Structure 1
Amino acid sequence: MKEIFRNISSIFLALMVLLSTVSWTVDKHLCMGRVMDVSFFAHADDCGMEEAMAAMGTEVGENHCCDDESFTLKGQDDLKLSWYDLELEHQAFLVAFTQSYFDLFVPVEELPVPHEKYPPPILVRDVQVLDQVFLI
């Protein structure tokens, strides 16, 4: 089970790094306000209305109904994170967290006894015998 979880998490993290470093370009072709074609990474195909108007002999002016939209999401170029990019509080937290985490795996020779340094109470008289109360 642990191996399966490790494989799934490593694949998920690899995909996240890949998707965050790739620049995404989405290109849309609109005709009369409706989306006719959407394309990732390339130019969207047009609807053919401009060719049809040119074949009919009408001139395509500035008030034609087709429009192209595109937007680009820039990917992260610098993946190398420096220790000095973090603030002092974050550095102190990371140092304390890693130290406490590694201390969890230190082998212990014998289990600690929590009441080792405290002596038992002094019994003046045996109350159970005096009251004749015994556990059976």
Structure 2
Amino acid sequence: MFSTLSLTIDKHFCGDVLVDVAIFSESEKCGMDISKMEATDMVKKSCCKNEIDVIEGLSDLTFNSFEDFDVIKQQVLFAYSYSYINLFEGLPNLVIPHSNYLPPTLVKDIHLLDEVYLI
């Protein structure tokens, strides 16, 4: 996805000093660009300059299928995907043999009748 991304980097220099850098937009000016003199219509050259760097992304994408790989790469890809899928396999359900067992109902508390106390 990032290989198809195109960027425009705009830099504004005032003299030799970098004032602003902007990506995807225009950089801010320092206010000293070009000043016109009204009386003589003479244009004074400014000390500012703009640099625009354009980074072009790829326009042609190639799509490879599974059959385009050689046999060894196909086997490695298959083994890796099989082991990765089985890595997150859930644990089997535990069988509790006495889950339906109901204890007998107590009529009297035998520990109190025999006066047996656990210390």
Q: Deviations over 1:73-130 (max 9, x none)?
A: 122333442249x6xxx5233212134346756xxxxxxxxxxxxxxxxxxxxxxxxx
TM-score between both structures, scaled by the size of structure 1:
0.45
Residue in 2 that maps onto 1:32: 15
Does 2:80 correspond to 1:60? Answer: no
The percent identity for this pair of structures is 26
The two structures have a TM-score, normalised by structure 2, of 0.50
2:53 corresponds to which of 53, 71, 84: 71
> Match for residue 3 of structure 2?
20
Structure 2 counterpart of 1:93: 72
CA distance in 2, matches of 1:103, 1:36: 54
Task: Structure 2 unaligned segments of length 5 or more: list them.
Answer: 87-119
Q: 1:96 to 1:34 in 2, by over 3 A?
A: same
Computed over aligned residues only, the root mean square deviation of the Cα atoms, in angstroms, reads 3.1
The structure where strand makes up a greater share of residues is 2
Higher helix share goes to which structure? 1
How far did 1:56 drift? 7.5
Gapped regions of structure 1 (runs ≥ 5): 1-16, 106-136
